Structure 1
């Protein structure tokens, strides 16, 4: 009896391990299966095989089960964070980013302790699963038990085959088989997409001459606001804060004699991997994954950096969040790269955020723009609105910013990331306040210092589905701000609208932005997006 009870508990536990992640999967049409067909087949397999094989078969099944659960949890994690399932071919490098984010949120020692405990937990689970499955293997038995094992394997295969049919589909699913098959299909499609994209790059446009005559030597600043998506302006939970921030921004611009036009463009990412959004906007190509990003950099294809360089502009990147070596910056072709180590900042880090946006703007203006001799094209990454969205600073008197030590008083301000993220409503409030700060800070800088320059102020991507919901658009606002009304008017024919409020319908993707800018600034319409769209399913979930 004891052996039977233990075996029954193992069956229930392993079945729960398989089906439970499906209950929370954000992109499945059937979130509540209670029976995994693999559980039926595993019991049958252990019964039908010779008892002498039970040890190594249990270990093999435990490893496959653990891999399946890891894939399911990875799909769940990337679904909640990035709005899509995991793709092994493109997402393995993100492990370092997870460690970096964890270290920034809770500190290095605690982050490493967390990862070490997770590793030990994985080993313990592997041992427990192997021993548990070993309990399912009966003592040496005769032909009837083996035949029953064969029957169970057959039942499991039939249930898997008809898992979408009524009424079986009401309660039965095959989580492990789905994870393995989906992952293999995503990798296959991504590999095909890599070949298509590489071929398109090989046939891409050659070097071109740029004059940017329409700008008449004006500086152009492209500033990405982290996590600034249309959710901030369309979701009822954030709309009031977003509209108030835009109203304040508009008031600052009008007082300074500046005007704006606005549209929305679709980002290739959500919740993270901002560099793919930056790369799409700069290159004029749809860079939706790391493979495309690396291929583009290896090909040294045309981009806004090289467009402005050809027109005699100095080019600069201001990247306060980059704390490690950044060889990609050199490959983009910037004349100047100002990463965290290269920015003279005497203030405190603010959890993941290395410095507040106000200091980034101040540093850009005083250390880069004012000393520049040639016209300047600069890309800025504004990170105060990056998760975990705590603390949120006030805007201080710009005359007091200096070396950033004025921000020292907020070194330990605000709640901890753990306390913010433990409450869904609280983290959403902090998100709205962080984007509000980013917009207002950008508006104050523009009113003070933009002068006759052109500011392209845009979001990089929507925040994670926790903030937006599972089915939110990936559109991000794009504001073009300048004193020259005639220059801005040229964008209206492309679908931009006057002012800061975005239109209801977007006009393409971030990969189209380069073409829109060149059509106005350089006076020649072109479509830099030469390759087909990514293969369907390369990073998207498969329906079940």
Structure 2
């Protein structure tokens, strides 16, 4: 009987060993051996140092648990960042533990990594919410606000220097990436720990869930906070709702912007009662209600307002003042400017893009539309292309580089307000012309961080701005003010006094019988200065020599002088355009669906 000899079986790679070179998923030659060597070395180290290895494992596990717990319980407001916030039971931890216990090894690791990454992302968003609330009085918008991070870096560069801004940017990126990676690794480690002690982990999860439900049912609290919480889920839900609301708002606002009460009004029927007047609309950066009412800042600012009211009266000028509620807070000044001049509530970047891309009539463009005014913009804060000038109806714009300034920057502000106003006088207001002038002027010396602040000099000494070299060099450094709330309040108050004094001295010196000045703040300063519960109100004043100008707004019931009374009327900033156009004889001719 023949003997059948089996064919020799080709050698198979050992399990976990290197695969055929070049095959998909193959390990480069020698890599498997190196990996096994490292694992062997690690096991040998644990064998030689069992106590140290145990301590490292326990420490790593404890740190992982702390990181995950803190991420689950982290609030999105700095004012809520208290130890008591972290002495609670997050329901998300209980649910995640039960889910991971039910999964086999590979799905468990994937689920844990995804959970940790999501938790890290939520932590980054909570930190962004903290920063935005502190500076802008609102939460971070996941859809719209990424572009503002570049502005934040520019602000840090102007305040603290380019190197500090670069390191801050690198640090922020490293922190964000580290949070994503570390929370993912921490969640995976905890998932493996649960699987290694499945019975005890299951009992623990059951007990934690029971305690959580009991605390919810009984409303158990510690330090005024409920022990049982679902704060992480609520934070994630809030972010999701914010995204959905933003996308819906974009379409709704685009429709709203097409409706314009004065959109079809012929130029001849716009502001007929102001014909022949030189109109100056001026925004004072961060000039908010807190400057007039806060016990730290108000004494100096109020003295300045009262003194300047008296000085203007001696020069023949009189004023009426009230309050407007700004669409922005702490920053994003362009939102306040566009809200005031368009009559629309422009409180986010998408609304700003929408309205400036359309043809909604701005208050400044109304003067251009008449054909009876020359229109200019004095924009010392503009340092790049600014296509919005056409939407604002400005025939000519003088930016940071167009006013002949040769002096130093004062932190973020490219030039002192007094210089900008003197340049306005030299370049436009003081020139002989065939038409009266309508100007939009943005004053920036009161922009944060309020250090160093310019000093008022003789108007004849201003020249090309070189006179400010010594003033800037001897001023307070931004680094000494930016993190000190009390010092920031003091310097902020001084900056408002400087800006108001510069503007009213300019009017006193160069104003004529036909000059009409409207000036206001664009928003309140950040919460560190204005206070956590400050309103969004800003002062607004109309100043003129011609009594007919102020008689036209007599029914507004504004306060006489530059300092509005506490109980003076408060209007939304978006209401000013229509009230102003109506007061000075404009005839409505609506356009759009809302007309």
TM-score w.r.t. the length of structure 2 is 0.82
Q: 2:442 aligns with which of 381, 384, 395?
A: 381
Residue range with higher mean Cα deviation, 4-13 or 307-316: 4-13
CA deviation map 1:322-376 (0-9, x unaligned): 1122122233331011111222211111111110100111111111222344211
Contact 2:375 2:437 in 1 (8 A): yes
Q: Within 5 A, what are the aligned runs for 1:220-259?
A: 220-259=279-318
1:201 corresponds in structure 2 to 257
Residue 257 of structure 1, CA deviation: 1.1
Q: 1:463 aligns with which of 519, 522, 525?
A: 525
Q: 1:191 aligns with which of 239, 243, 247?
A: 247
1:435 corresponds in structure 2 to 496
Residue 209 of structure 1, CA deviation: 1.9
Q: 1:375 to 1:464 in 2, by over 3 A?
A: same
Contact 1:265 1:476 in 2 (8 A): yes
CA deviation map 1:364-405 (0-9, x unaligned): 111122234421111111110000000112100000112111
2:192 corresponds in structure 1 to 138
Residue 89 of structure 1, CA deviation: 2.5
CA RMSD of aligned residues (A): 2.9
Q: For the residues of structure 2 that align with 1:164 and 1:216, how far apart are their CA atoms?
A: 70
For these two proteins, the number of residue pairs brought into alignment is: 530
Matched, 1:310 2:369: yes
Contact 1:318 1:381 in 2 (8 A): yes
From the CA coordinates, give the structure whose radius of gyration is larger. Answer: 2
Q: 1:315 to 1:298 in 2, by over 3 A?
A: same
Residue 454 of structure 1, CA deviation: 0.3
Q: Within 5 A, what are the aligned runs for 1:7-26?
A: 7-22=61-76, 24-25=78-79
Q: Within 5 A, what are the aligned runs for 1:93-492?
A: 93-138=147-192, 141=196, 144=199, 147-148=202-203, 151=206, 162=216, 165-167=219-221, 170-205=226-261, 206-211=263-268, 212-311=271-370, 312-371=372-431, 372-452=433-513, 453-492=515-554
Matched, 1:517 2:580: yes
Q: 1:515 to 1:126 in 2, by over 3 A?
A: closer
Q: 1:179 to 1:443 in 2, by over 3 A?
A: same
Structure 2: state its 5+ residue gaps.
1-53
Structure 1: state its 5+ residue gaps.
533-544
Q: 1:367 to 1:142 in 2, by over 3 A?
A: closer
CA deviation map 1:407-459 (0-9, x unaligned): 12233332322221222111111111111111111111110012120000111
Contact 2:280 2:516 in 1 (8 A): yes
Q: For the residues of structure 2 that align with 1:529 and 1:455, how far apart are their CA atoms?
A: 32
CA deviation map 1:166-224 (0-9, x unaligned): 44952333332122111111222232222222122234343312443322311100110
Contact 2:454 2:472 in 1 (8 A): no
2:105 corresponds in structure 1 to 51
CA deviation map 1:209-250 (0-9, x unaligned): 244332231110011011111111112222211211101211
Q: For the residues of structure 2 that align with 1:329 and 1:152, how far apart are their CA atoms?
A: 65
Contact 2:70 2:86 in 1 (8 A): no
Q: 1:469 to 1:277 in 2, by over 3 A?
A: same
CA deviation map 1:75-125 (0-9, x unaligned): 111111111112222322212211221121122232112211322233333
- Structure showing greater relative contact order (alpha-carbon pairs closer than 8 Å, 6 or more residues apart): 1
The SS at the match of 1:90 is coil
Contact 1:347 1:408 in 2 (8 A): yes
Q: Within 5 A, what are the aligned runs for 1:521-540?
A: 521-524=584-587
Contact 2:326 2:572 in 1 (8 A): yes
Q: For the residues of structure 2 that align with 1:414 and 1:373, how far apart are their CA atoms?
A: 43
Contact 1:269 1:276 in 2 (8 A): yes
Q: For the residues of structure 1 that align with 2:553 and 2:171, how far apart are their CA atoms?
A: 54
The SS at the match of 1:519 is helix
Q: 1:135 to 1:266 in 2, by over 3 A?
A: same
Q: For the residues of structure 1 that align with 2:214 and 2:376, how far apart are their CA atoms?
A: 59
